[in-house]
Amino acid sequence: MEHVTKQFGGLTAVNDFSGEIEKNAIVGLIGPNGAGKTTLFNMIANYYHPTSGKIYFKDQDITEARTEDMARMGLARTFQVTKPFGDMTVLQNIMVGAFLHTTNARQVEQKAREVAGLVGMTCDLDMIANNTTTVDKKKLEIARALAVGPELILLDEVMAGCNPQEKLELVDTCRKVRDAGVTILIIEHDIKTIMSLCDKIYILHRGEKLVEGTPEQVANDKRAISAYLGEDFDNAEN
């Protein structure tokens, strides 16, 4: 990403952001509410186009590509507010993702089951997606995104609304996904998760990149603490 800027009317949501996501890493994106994380995400996924700046994926300029082409190129995403296909079953939801590279329903179903296993869906796969629990909906989001066979997956606050135990589960899932060869960019508010999971962290503040570095570097950064982590960050750690 180079000098990416996005403006909504007069408001600059993301300002001159540059950064890089290495292959097979887990990169965290954190920052206060309204910092522009989701907006940045949406630009990478080409849901919005940047007002200025360029985005490259696998050395290709994708700044002006369409959302639907991104999945084909190997980039998948989840939504901050989960968006399951409500009328379908869990399995059918995942199958929709898996149909991207083949039309053979049998293969698709097999793939979907595999992915469901990978993320550890606990519920009955024949349940109507709308009726599942929050965690399962989050997992379903991940599974569906994985089913398209991405190289990079963007996770937007997948752990919000989960208790620490469940977060651990999801962290586990993320690791498994990474081990399966998928790069991850993750937005999260839970510091502990981020710290333990990520190889690299960006902190975004009022649309601008504040800090960039490994978890340790970030944790010790004064600016990061004052803008985001809060004075009693240390207490929370304990």
Ligand X SMILES: Nc1ncnc2c1ncn2[C@@H]1O[C@H](COP(=O)(O)OP(=O)(O)OP(=O)(O)O)[C@@H](O)[C@H]1O
Q: What is the three-class DSSP state of 114?
A: helix
Nearer to ligand X, 36 or 53 (CB): 36
6: left (phi over 0), alpha (psi -120 to 50) or beta: beta
The residue (of 137 and 144) whose beta carbon lies closer to ligand X is: 137
Alpha-carbon distance of 61 to 142, in angstroms, equals 26
Per CB under 5 A, which region of 5-13, 59-67, 75-83, 164-172 contacts Mg ion?
Answer: 75-83
Smallest distance, Å, CB 232 to another protein? 6
Is 38 a binder of Mg ion (CB under 5 A)? yes
Pick the closer one to ligand X by CB: 108 or 193: 193
Is residue 125 within 8 A of residue 89, CB to CB? The reply is yes
Asked if residue 13 binds ligand X (CB under 6 A), the reply is yes
Residues that bind another protein (CB under 8 A): 11, 30-34, 45, 47, 66-72, 76-77, 79-80, 83-89, 91-93, 95-97, 99-100, 103, 105, 108-109, 125-126, 128, 131-136, 144-145, 147-148, 157, 160-168, 189, 191, 227-230, 232-233, 236
Q: What is the DSSP string of 1-29?
A: -EEEEEEETTEEEEEEE-----TT-EEEE
Q: How far is the CB of 134 from another protein (least distance, A)?
A: 5
Among ligand X, Mg ion, another protein, none, the one that 39 touches (CB under a kind-dependent 5 to 8 A) is ligand X
| Angle of the 90-98 helix axis to the 134-147 helix axis, nearest 10 | 20
37: contact with ligand X by CB under 6 A: yes
CA–CA gap between residue 99 and residue 101 (Å, rounded): 6
221 binds, among Mg ion, another protein, ligand X, none (CB under 5 to 8 A by kind): none
Binding of residue 38 to ligand X (CB under 6 A): yes
Give 2 or 127: the residue with its C-beta nearer to another protein: 127
CB neighbour burial string for 20-38, b if at least 16 within 10 angstroms, e if fewer: ebeeeebbbbbbbeebbbb
# residues near ligand X by CB under 6 A: 17
Closest to 21 in 3D by CA, of 124, 150, 164, 136 = 150
Separation in Å, CA 53 to CA 2, 6, 15 = 6, 9, 10
Closest approach, Cβ 153 to ligand X, in A, equals 17
Helical (H) or strand (E) element with 109: helix 105-119
Identify residues 162-201 at the interface with ligand X (CB under 6 A).
none
Query: What is the residue whose two structure tokens read 């910092």?
Result: 35
Cβ closest to ligand X, residue 46 vs residue 148: 46
Q: Are strands 208-213 and 200-205 parallel, antiparallel or unpaired?
A: antiparallel
Of the pair 149, 213, the CB lying nearest another protein is at 149
List residues binding Mg ion (CB under 5 A): 38, 80
List residues binding ligand X (CB under 6 A): 8, 11, 13, 31, 33-39, 80, 131-134, 161
